[in-house]
Amino acid sequence: MEELELYVHIPFCIKKCDYCDFLSFSANAKTQKEYVDALIRELLYYASRLKDRKIVSIFIGGGTPSWLDYNLLVSIVDVIKGNFCVAEDAEVTLEANPGTVVKPAMESYKKAGINRLSIGLQSTSDKELKLLGRVHTFEQFLKIYDMARECGFDNINIDLISGLPYQKIEDFMKSLNDVIRLKPEHVSVYSLIIEEGTPFYDKFKCDDDKQHAGMRTEALPNEDEVYAMCKMTQETLKKAGYLQYETSNFAKKGLECKHNIGYWQRKDYLGVGLGAASLIDNVRYSNKRDIYDYIKATQKLDLYNNIHETVQTLSKQDQMEEFMFLGLRMNNGVARDDFEKNFNIPIEGVYKLTLDKLKREGLLEQNQGRIFLTDKGADLANYCMSLFLLD
Ligand code: SF4
């Protein structure tokens, strides 16, 4: 059976964080219930059409899925397990935020078959959490983390953000070391991006421009400090026994996130819910982004699928570019055999000049049938990726 990954989007959050541009917002219990009903209609629609696919990973993300009434959340998992062919060893991840989970909820998640938690912490400093507009403290994070362990979760990711406004290198290192002491199986560290349309954009746009121009700014760490945080993250996590397997992701051996690796390997995935994206047989779909349009569309799904906002059939060229961009984000890069299997042509047949150039510049290496960026190449990833564009 052909494999498929499943992503389920829950767009609700208690309150919007000041840096966030994800598709998420607050909503009352009635809207949440109507949304889950719509989500279930969409799931059932696909379950009957994708009977020949085996679900190898499920990721329930958001938003803050753990803010949803846990009975509703469990009903979503039950519908998936009852109607799709789900692999016995499927990785089932739930994104959870501190301050949103009570013990009976945590127990129900475990019982329902959720076997991996991804907890949004971002910083262990309450001052930084407040600045980010997060609704929780570090103390509340520790409560949810301990609760998860007590309930038997043995695969937990913790998210951190580096390069926060007014953050010194030692502030970030304190957060990182606090997290390492907790011994999670997986750590994700993202650099802050000032996104348009967020309160952070209004506050820090000028500083952001200065930072990118290599200048000193009042509020944001300069480029050298951001780079130093990135390098220290890699060294510190390596020393603590974590393998870096992608730009922002570190895991104990064998506990890499299978779902995300699937994205980077261009495995097919079905995204269900508001604004969710799918890639099936090299067609990329993305769902409607307005919640009322989405709910309405799911009521007519049996007649024809009008739930998508965009549909894009990827050309061979698009597929090859994506294969390289996504694959080279991973530390072990891409397999030459996979390229040939996917495109019926050896990788040199398409990218010989690029591969030779990057090798000459010390930015790329080949070993045991794999092609990957060197440390220097990873530092210059944007430049390297630009050379894989085929126009
Ligand atoms: S909790 Fe996450 S998804 Fe929700 S607003 Fe904050 S950053 Fe965005």
Q: What does the H/E/C string look like for 25-88?
A: ECCCHHHHHHHHHHHHHHHHHHHHHCCCEEEEEEEEEECCHHHCCHHHHHHHHHHHHHHCEEEE
Q: Whose CA is nearest to atom 3 of ligand 1?
A: 63
Nearest ligand 1 atom to the CA of 97 is 1
Cα distances (Å, whole numbers) of residue 353 to 145, 173, 325, 361, 390: 49, 41, 16, 12, 12
Ligand 1 centroid to 44 CA: how many Å?
28
Q: What is the pLDDT of residue 391?
A: 80
Question: Residue 303: its pLDDT value, please?
Answer: 65
Ligand 1 probe mutation, 9, 14, 24, 94, most atoms within 8 A of CB: 24
Three-state secondary structure call for residue 120 = strand
Report, as ranges of residue numbers, the positions in the chain whose pLDDT lies below 70: 303-304
Q: Which two tokens stand for residue 239?
A: 């020393």
Q: Which residues pair with 262 in a beta bridge?
A: none
**Confidence (pLDDT) at 281:** 96
pLDDT reported for residue 218: 84
Shortest-distance Cα residue to atom 7 of ligand 1: 20
- Residue 214 confidence (pLDDT): 86
Closest residue CA from atom 6 of ligand 1: 17
Give, for ligand 1, the residue of 10, 15, 16 to mutate: max count of ligand atoms closer than 8 Å to Cβ: 16
User: Going by DSSP bridges, is the β-strand pair 85-96/116-122 parallel, antiparallel, or unpaired?
Assistant: parallel
The dihedral built from the CA positions of residue 178, 184, 190 and 194, taken in this order, carries a sign that is negative
CB-ligand 1 contact for 65 (6 Å cutoff): no
With b for 16 or more beta-carbon neighbours within 10 A and e for fewer, the 117-135 pattern comes to bbbbbbbbbeebbebbebb
**How many of the other CB atoms lie within 10 Å of CB of 362?**
11
| Closest residue by Cα to residue 390 from 356, 353, 362 | 353
Q: Which amino acid is at 108?
A: S
What is the reported pLDDT for 165? 96
Residue 230, CB-side half-sphere exposure with 13 Å CA sphere: 16
Q: Could you identify the atom of ligand 1 that is nearest to the CA of residue 13? A: 4
Output the pLDDT for position 383: 96
What was the pLDDT predicted at 159?
98
Determine which residue's CA is closest to atom 5 belonging to ligand 1. 16
Which domains, from first to last, does the chain contain?
2-264 (3.20.20.70), 324-386 (1.10.10.10)
Atom of ligand 1 nearest to the CA of 134: 6
